[in-house]
């Protein structure tokens, strides 16, 4: 078939299906095909704890793969609004081509609660390609992993790739000869410890040294205790993932000791709230927003549909022009002001910006 004839047939099909296009019909029958928007089909929902579950996903044909430790952004429609969140991949590349994420339902977490408690096999989700630099160097080394809660998810992906688990037990391939791993894992209690069975199996096989810490038994972790838990700490590179408070403490500790640290977090650290204000949109709608709530969340709570993405200030999917007014960055307290006739409209990230006075959003 010549290219000219092919083009004519495509135009004829588009005319016959207007306002839809042929690709819209293909999406109904082959949503995971090559060339389509990248999607995935959830095939399994595996409970891990009472508030966490692993989702096994068959990705579309254009999935480019990932390196253990990386994350992906997943989009799912909740109550008619498409929400995007970032989750670590909890496996290395699998022979069956599937990918897996483990989600912990966090307090007031709209998407996490939906994924853990309401999602069923067969659900279609939107995907973005894997990203992230929280990965192990291929040459190996001496490592300390410090994880808390769902912060174990990128680390378990690395460990499963290093030390595969089979019916015969945990394997220790030759390629792991130069990997020496200690894991300090923090959880509220033993029953709330995600992937504890995996960690204990790895420890029993001698693949890692596990130092479990449970708040109900040991109290909150004091990072100053790390040298006692890991006597050769100074000889190791630390990888940490968990709540912002823990990561901040680890950062200060490692900087003070001159030690190497790599961190990963998916929830922004927010400074204290400031002054709120009235937010006005281009269609005349207004809402009162406090100084601690992102404009994106305040708008959605008021029924205003907004563009959104990661909701962490990473992807810039929520950027909108502010024609006039002042907002405050909830991560660092930085104030941004748009002045008519002087600065012109200034683009802001509504997911991490709170009103710091009256502001007008061009949306």
Is domain 31-127 given the CATH code 2.40.30.10 in the classification? yes
- The residues facing 298 across adjacent strands are none
pLDDT score for 139? 87
State in words which class domain 141-264 has: alpha beta
CA distances from 297 to 265, 308, 342, 359 (A): 20, 10, 29, 15
Tell me the mean pLDDT per 10 residues along the chain, length 363: 60 52 54 90 93 94 94 86 84 92 83 92 93 88 93 92 82 88 94 90 95 92 95 96 88 96 68 74 92 90 83 79 90 84 83 91 92
CATH 3.90.640.10 fits 277-361, yes or no: no
User: In which residue ranges of the chain is CATH 3.40.50.80 found?
Assistant: 141-264
pLDDT for residue 271: 44
Beta bridge partners of 39: 126
- Contact between 70 and 135 under an 8 Å Cβ cutoff? The reply is yes
pLDDT at 108: 72
Q: What is the pLDDT of residue 30?
A: 80
* CATH 3.10.20.30 placement within the chain: 277-361
Quote the pTM value: 0.66
Q: What is the pLDDT of residue 16?
A: 52
Closest Cα partner for 162 from 229, 69, 72, 260?
69
Based on its alpha-carbon atoms, the radius of gyration of the chain, rounded to whole angstroms, reads 24
**What's the confidence (pLDDT) of residue 273?**
47
What's the pLDDT score for residue 300?
86
The predicted pLDDT at position 106 comes to 77
**Residue 218, Cβ neighbours under 10 Å: how many?**
12
């Amino acid at each position: 078939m010549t290219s000219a004839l092919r083009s004519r047939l495509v135009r004829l099909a588009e005319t016959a299906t207007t306002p839809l296009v042929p690709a819209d019909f293909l999406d109904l029958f082959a949503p995971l095909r090559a060339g389509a928007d990248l999607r995935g089909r959830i095939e399994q929902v595996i409970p891990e704890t009472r508030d966490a579950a692993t989702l096994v996903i068959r990705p579309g044909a254009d999935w480019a793969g990932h390196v253990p430790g990386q994350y992906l952004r997943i989009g799912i429609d909740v109550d008619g609004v498409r929400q995007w969140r970032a989750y670590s991949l909890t496996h290395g590349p699998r022979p069956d081509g599937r990918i897996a994420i483990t989600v912990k339902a966090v307090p007031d977490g709209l998407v996490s609660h939906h994924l853990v408690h309401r999602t069923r096999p067969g659900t279609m989700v939107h995907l973005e390609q894997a990203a992230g630099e929280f990965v192990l160097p291929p040459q190996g080394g001496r490592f300390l992993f410090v994880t808390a809660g769902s912060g174990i998810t990128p680390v378990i992906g690395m460990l499963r790739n290093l030390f595969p688990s089979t019916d015969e037990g945990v394997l220790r391939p030759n390629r792991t000869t130069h990997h020496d791993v200690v894991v300090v894992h923090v959880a509220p209690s033993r029953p709330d410890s995600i992937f504890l069975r995996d960690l204990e199996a790895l420890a029993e096989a001698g693949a890692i040294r596990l130092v479990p810490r449970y708040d109900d038994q040991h109290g909150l972790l004091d990072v100053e205790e790390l040298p006692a838990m890991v006597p050769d700490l100074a000889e190791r590179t630390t990888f940490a993932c968990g709540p912002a408070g823990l990561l901040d403490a680890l950062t200060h500790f490692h900087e003070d000791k001159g030690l190497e640290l790599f961190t990963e977090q998916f929830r922004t650290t927010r400074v204290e709230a400031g002054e709120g204000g009235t937010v006005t949109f281009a269609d005349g709608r207004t809402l009162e927003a406090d100084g601690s709530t992102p404009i994106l969340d305040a708008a959605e709570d008021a029924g205003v549909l907004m563009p959104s993405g990661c909701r962490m200030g990473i992807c810039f999917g929520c950027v909108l022009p502010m024609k006039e007014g002042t907002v405050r960055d909830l991560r660092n307290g930085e104030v941004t002001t748009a002045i008519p006739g002087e600065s012109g409209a200034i683009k802001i990230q509504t997911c991490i910006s709170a009103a710091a006075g009256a502001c007008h959003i061009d949306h």
